[in-house]
Structure 1
């Protein structure tokens, strides 16, 4: 049986894991009811298991977020790049999220680094580009939709041959497409409102330090069903 492989690139905060599950569990919760019977979900922890799975048995790849930073070029992260390049060359469907988004962009020739405007956290509006409105994965979404975000780094320079599908006031590269079935997003479609709330509570001091009001961000948290729907729709391309 072929698998949908969740590539785990880090661990969520302990209180998030205790109350809601780790990053891979959040993906599983969103995908399990929509998974076709001929596929199963598997997890590969790339930070702890150095041997990359054989791509021949992989129907699709989802890459999680992480508290690591792509620009730190940790050995396990750098080792993922040639594997991702092979997956792209093989037209293996991929969807990278947050760290996965930044890692894919870097692997394919872009640059990810700390955003000069600081951290972006909370439920924020994301806008589709004209290309996004015509994209087979994103065209189901309204031109403006809300999504959960928490990141200090961003894709600062997109790869030359990719297409920008979404952006917002903070980030020019909220969603990118690299090939026919290879996408990445800066936002977190797997997050629920309670998970986003837990992240903001943890980041109160850091957000205040950059001039934001955590209580206002907490009050603005809402469900992001449209962004979350990308995960289930991704399965249609496997």
Structure 2
């Protein structure tokens, strides 16, 4: 079976140094994808990306970088993503990865005009989510972990919005039949996200948002993890079908 490619666009913050794993490990584990069949490529370091046809699916991690910087590695990765989506490979972008994916497909990314969104928030799903293969079966409203200062301001042409929150209009979208973006972090849990609240504490104070109140509202978010699991199941199912077709 082909591996799951995790495009690593950043690393966890320093206060999580003693917490096991990093974005790529957390994503694969939450998805239920075997770590031994996961390929992680650090695009910030200039590592080359494989041919799209060599992987079963793609997940793009979060990052401390900003899409609006348009650094060389971002431009290169965005071009690769567009080509990969055009070839029909399943792609899932998370936080920065969600923004990079949207930008690669013609969407607009910039600083969230409502400010930093961090902690546990409530996601409200659009009607389109009820029949979406990655979102279906979830409650109309569910909690999710978030940590971001930039957002997708305008979706790519033809993209379908799947969910939103009070502070972000685009918490989830689908492009075509095989590409999804998630502004929230389904791979984060209630132990990880408080570190990001503390990371933003000074900026939250400047925005008149209380970090202590956000910490008190942190809770478990099992429903959001189902999005990752259902994406992983979809990728595995498509790969198995392709193998059976090849064997015939």
CA distance in 2, matches of 1:115, 1:90: 31
Q: Do residues 185 (structure 1) and 168 (structure 2) align?
A: no
Partners of 2:2 and 2:54 within 8 A in 1: yes
Q: Do residues 69 (structure 1) and 69 (structure 2) align?
A: no
Partners of 1:5 and 1:43 within 8 A in 2: yes
Q: Do residues 35 (structure 1) and 42 (structure 2) align?
A: no
- Shift in Å at residue 28 of structure 1? 3.0
Q: Do residues 197 (structure 1) and 203 (structure 2) align?
A: no
Match of 2:135 in 1: 138
Partners of 1:63 and 1:97 within 8 A in 2: yes
Match of 1:15 in 2: 15
Q: Which runs of 5+ in 2 are unaligned?
A: 236-248
CA distance in 1, matches of 2:134, 2:11: 27
Match of 2:243 in 1: none
Match of 2:223 in 1: 226
Q: Which runs of 5+ in 1 are unaligned?
A: none
Deviations 1:59-85 (A, max 9, x none): 000000000000110110110111111
CA distance in 1, matches of 2:173, 2:83: 18
Tell me the SS of whatever aligns to 1:236: helix
CA distance in 2, matches of 1:14, 1:42: 24
Match of 2:2 in 1: 2
**Structure 1 length normalisation: TM-score?**
0.95
**Structure 2 length normalisation: TM-score?**
0.91
CA RMSD of aligned residues (A): 1.5
CA distance in 2, matches of 1:35, 1:11: 20
Partners of 1:4 and 1:61 within 8 A in 2: yes
